[in-house]
């Protein structure tokens, strides 16, 4: 359980993916003809559009574990969606529908990457609408996990710095 450590982004990302997991499983089984989904979350401490290399905070595979049985390379597609979001600071759907001039040669054309409050999450494996919904859901759970830790930190009158509670 994450208590006070708002800076433990890997832990918050793991929590978000754990919370989203059951819904992702239902989507894979009920709403698509695919057997796997990959979610990639970038480290929000590296700002979108920066010259720094892409920094993956968390990558998680759902559904079929064997890549050989996937219909496409969902891990590479999810990362490519995240790269477009990272470079442009926009969701992949926004780039494709409203700002196609932001594409570079070799960019992925599929929606499913989301940018919200400096967070980048991309998903691949389902129909694009579900990829995008999963990305939004993971961001929402991540935000909730971090905010919960922040609220506990702020309520602790003995703590004056960000990090783990000393006890």
Residues 6 or more apart in contact with residue 156 via CB below 8 angstroms: 4, 165
Comparing C-alpha atoms, which of 22, 48, 53, 72 is closest to residue 121?
A: 48
- d(Cα 68, Cα 90) in Å, to the nearest integer? 32
* pLDDT attached to residue 62: 94
Q: Is 159 among the domain residues?
A: no
- pLDDT of 19 reads 95
Residue 163 lies in a domain: no
- pTM assigned to the model: 0.87
DSSP H or E stretch at residue 147: helix 128-155
Question: Does 132 map to a domain?
Answer: yes
Any domain includes 44: yes
List the structure tokens of 70: 């996937």
* Residue 165 within any structural domain of the chain: no
| Residues 46 and 9 sit within 8 Å (Cβ to Cβ) | no
167 assigned to some structural domain: no
Q: Please write the tens of the pLDDT for every residue from 53-108.
A: 778 999 999 998 888 988 899 999 999 999 999 999 999 999 999 999 999 999 99
In whole angstroms, give the CA distance from residue 53 to residue 152: 33
On whether residue 46 sits in a domain, the answer given is yes
What CATH number does residue 141 fall under?
3.30.450.150
Q: How far is 157 from 132, CA to CA, in rounded Å?
A: 40
> Number of structural domains, the chain?
1
Residue 161, in any domain of the structure? no
Find the domain containing 110 and state its range: 9-153
Provide the strand spans (E) within the chain.
36-42, 56-63, 113-116, 119-124
């Amino acid at each position: 359980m994450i208590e006070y450590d708002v800076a433990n982004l890997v832990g918050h990302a793991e929590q978000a993916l754990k919370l989203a997991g059951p819904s992702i499983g239902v989507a894979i089984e009920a709403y698509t003809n695919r057997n796997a989904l990959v979610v990639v979350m970038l480290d929000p401490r590296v700002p979108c559009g920066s010259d720094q290399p892409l920094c993956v905070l968390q990558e998680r595979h759902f559904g079929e574990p064997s890549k050989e049985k996937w219909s496409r390379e969902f891990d590479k597609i999810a990362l490519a969606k995240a790269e477009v979001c990272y470079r442009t600071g926009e969701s992949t759907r926004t780039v494709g529908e409203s700002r196609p001039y932001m594409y570079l040669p070799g960019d992925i054309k599929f929606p499913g990457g989301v940018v919200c409050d400096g967070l980048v999450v991309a998903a691949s494996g389902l129909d694009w609408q579900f990829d995008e919904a999963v990305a939004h859901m993971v961001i929402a759970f991540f935000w909730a996990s971090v905010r919960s830790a922040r609220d506990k930190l702020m309520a602790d009158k003995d703590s004056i710095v960000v990090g783990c509670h000393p006890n």
